[in-house]
Chain A
Amino acid sequence: QQQVKQSPQSLIVQKGGISIINCAYENTAFDYFPWYQQFPGKGPALLIAIRPDVSEKKEGRFTISFNKSAKQFSLHIMDSQPGDSATYFCAASIETSGSRLTFGEGTQLTVNP
């Protein structure tokens, strides 16, 4: 059972545009929602994370929007750059249960120059 669903599977954006990736979860016990960036042949790196007590978190060009009632959260990449081209994964975990991460399916982002 896929507990975190991610869309779209792939995304092509022009340089300077906004990249938006969406995730939906089922388990209401999840209380930590990170986004990871992965380049080919490398491990994932944490981009930004949010907890359900806030609806938005911004760090530089990256923003997470969180909708607790809809059980959805999204990643917005402002002023997208070719160097942002990578695969992005959303994830969710329950902090009190050892923080096992459940990952979304991933989104392959391509930012064209």
Chain B
Amino acid sequence: GAVVSQHPSRVICKSGTSVKIECRSLDFQATTMFWYRQFPKQSLMLMATSNEGSKATYEQGVEKDKFLINHASLTLSTLTVTSAHPEDSSFYICSAKRAQGNTEAFFGQGTRLTVV
């Protein structure tokens, strides 16, 4: 299967600062990447869909100015949590879909964000 690498795996930041999370497709080109948020013992909630070279599409209720998404290349998408607050603490997961081919989306290993 294809490999999606997410970095960092864990990050602790102070309230009010910004944090950037990277999602890379290592061995395939991904025109579409997805960003999810997962609270403990809950399901994955889609935050936004990121298409290479265009603006991300955010799900209802997700603040686009707080969760900045950039998909500048076919192998890299970034999620920046701006002015983080403790309630932003969560597990953030990206997935990437091949530019061509089947429907399968490959997931990164997730990033545990803790805002103190």
A: residues with CB less than 8 A from B are 32, 34, 36, 41-46, 49, 89, 93, 95, 98-106, 108
Q: How far is the CA of A95 from the CA of B41 in the complex (A)?
A: 28
Q: Chain B: interface residue count, which band? A: 20 to 34
Tell me whether B19 is interfacial, beta carbon within 8 Å.
no
Known: A98-B49, A100-B34. A41 touches B104 (CB 8 A): no
Inter-chain contact B104/A46, CB cutoff 8 Å: yes
A46 B43 Cβ-Cβ under 8 A: no
- Known A-B contacts: A34-B104, A103-B43, A106-B42. Give 4 more (CB < 8 A): A43-B93, A93-B103, A99-B97, A100-B49
A32 to B95, CA, bound (A): 16
Task: Pick 11 A–B contacts, CB within 8 A, sort by A.
Answer: A34-B104, A41-B112, A42-B110, A43-B95, A44-B44, A46-B1, A93-B103, A98-B32, A102-B46, A104-B43, A106-B41
With CB as the reference atom, state the residue of chain B lying closest to A108.
B41
Q: A43-B93, A46-B1, A49-B104 are in contact. Are A106 and B110 (CB under 8 A)?
A: no
Contacts of A99 on B, CB cut-off 8 Å? 32, 97, 103, 105
